[in-house]
């Protein structure tokens, strides 16, 4: 018994080592493991990610190549570990039933499997331990989708639209995130932006665009997708309706989330073009703008009827100096706690702050309240 126990333990360690190698190879190949019903369902529905089978793609390429040297080089590439992985839907072995699931989740589970089958994505039922390993022990609800990763498109070349045009045809409310590093916070903010702004269907004017910094920010990882309840997937292919087209059903795909390599420059350009740039802050930073006396307004004194960019700073240090200087004014959420009496709870989490401010600005965009 003792010898076999040591052998079993060694086998487990070898399997764990193999799993680590495989995970590294997957990361190198650009694969994500989405986990949870909402992210998986929305990723399949949006169909923005890469679900191509590299093996099939290789076979198709080889069929078109006559040069034997090139064919051999392609085959050598195909022998690399990362080339062996393909998109896959992994389901927990007992996930089809699920008496504990609500009716909506049961229907979502069936839709996931149907969509994957229709898209030619292999489906496998595996032990819960496999799903735990692939998700990093995060709550996967019995569903993991192996697929291509996402990247936020850059907005630097095209820039923000003219605010006069944005009022009717594109988002007239944008959320600029200056170095938000926590994927949970980024996901929560994307969820709020999508829930409050919608996807550009019946209320296109209410859509909310999001801009993140390309450096020192959380990338669009599976953790972000899970924290956003799958909103990340939908915002990367939001519907863009053509107002000049009489057919109301006519639309094209357009991302609602972008990145920028220079947030302060982007905001300064937008401000010059007529955008109102509101920074979230407890008070106006001192002596940062010689050209304009910036003020800090309570939320209830800010109207939402002006094309606006709401800027949120990082979790640790808030708005960077040049980003704060690019703001026209600042907005704060007044609290009920007396200053100095509640250490650590004298402010809100950045994702909560963003949700409250976005809701106010979006709901009041057609009012004529006091405006900055």
Q: Rounded CA gap, 363 and 276, in Å?
A: 17
User: What would the pLDDT profile of 4-39 be if each residue is shown by its tens digit?
Assistant: 455 554 454 444 434 443 555 666 566 899 999 999
Angle value at C-alpha 19, between 17 and 22, nearest 5 degrees: 115
- Contact 308/278 with Cβ under 8 angstroms? yes
Q: Rounded CA gap, 278 and 352, in Å?
A: 17
Q: What is the pLDDT of residue 205?
A: 42
Burial class of 89 by CB neighbour count within 10 A (0 to 12, 13 to 18, 19+): buried
DSSP 87-126: -EEEEETT-S--TTS-HHHHHHHHHHHHHHHHTT--EEEE
Buried (b) or exposed (e) across 169-197, using 16+ Cβ within 10 A? bbbbbbbbbbbbebbebbbbbbbbbbebb
Q: Where are the domains of the chain?
A: 18-51+87-148, 163-363
CATH pick for 18-51+87-148 out of 3.30.1330.30, 3.40.50.2300, 3.30.70.360, 3.30.420.10: 3.30.1330.30
Q: What is the pLDDT of residue 293?
A: 80
Share of the chain above pLDDT 90, in %: 49
Entry pTM: 0.80
Averaged pLDDT score across all residues of the chain: 79
Angle value at C-alpha 332, between 329 and 338, nearest 5 degrees: 140
Q: Which residues of the chain have pLDDT under 50?
A: 1-4, 9-10, 12-21, 81-82, 97, 202-205, 239-252, 366-371
| Tokens 């600042």 -> residue | 330
> According to the CATH classification, is domain 163-363 in 3.40.1280.10?
yes
Q: What is the pLDDT of residue 286?
A: 66
Q: What is the pLDDT of residue 17?
A: 39
Q: What is the pLDDT of residue 238?
A: 59
- Contact 39/226 with Cβ under 8 angstroms? yes
- Contact 180/315 with Cβ under 8 angstroms? yes
């Amino acid at each position: 018994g003792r010898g076999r126990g040591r052998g079993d333990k060694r086998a487990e360690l070898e399997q764990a080592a193999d799993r680590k190698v495989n995970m590294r190879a997957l990361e190198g190949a650009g694969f994500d493991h989405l986990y949870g019903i909402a992210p998986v369902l929305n990723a399949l529905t949006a169909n923005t990610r890469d679900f191509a089978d590299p093996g099939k793609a290789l076979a198709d390429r080889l069929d078109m190549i006559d040069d034997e040297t090139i064919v051999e080089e392609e085959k050598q590439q195909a022998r690399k570990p990362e080339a062996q992985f393909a998109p896959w839907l992994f389901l927990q072995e007992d996930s089809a039933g699920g008496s504990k699931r609500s009716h909506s989740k049961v229907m979502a589970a069936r839709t996931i499997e149907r969509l994957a089958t229709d898209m030619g994505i292999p489906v496998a039922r595996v032990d819960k331990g496999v799903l735990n390993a692939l998700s990093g022990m995060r709550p996967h609800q019995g569903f993991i989708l192996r697929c291509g990763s996402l990247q936020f498109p850059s907005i630097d070349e095209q820039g923000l639209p003219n605010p006069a045009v944005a009022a009717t045809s594109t988002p007239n409310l944008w959320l600029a995130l200056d170095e938000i590093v926590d994927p949970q916070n980024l996901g929560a903010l994307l969820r709020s932006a999508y829930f409050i702004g919608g996807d550009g269907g019946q209320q296109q004017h209410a859509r909310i665009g999001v801009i993140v910094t390309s450096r020192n920010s959380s990338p669009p990882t599976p953790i972000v997708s899970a924290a956003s309840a799958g909103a990340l997937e939908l915002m990367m292919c939001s519907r863009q309706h053509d107002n000049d087209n009489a057919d109301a059903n006519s639309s094209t795909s357009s991302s609602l989330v972008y990145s920028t390599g220079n947030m302060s420059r982007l905001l300064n350009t937008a401000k010059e073009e007529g955008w109102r740039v509101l920074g979230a802050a407890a008070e106006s930073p001192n002596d940062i703008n010689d050209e304009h006396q910036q003020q800090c307004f309570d939320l209830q004194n800010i109207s939402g009827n002006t094309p606006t960019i709401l800027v949120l700073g990082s979790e640790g240090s808030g708005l960077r100096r040049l980003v704060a200087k690019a703001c026209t004014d600042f907005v704060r959420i007044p609290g009920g706690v007396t200053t100095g009496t509640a250490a650590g709870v004298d402010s809100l989490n950045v994702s909560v702050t963003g949700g409250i401010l976005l809701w106010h600005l979006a709901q009041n965009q057609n009012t004529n309240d006091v405006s900055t």
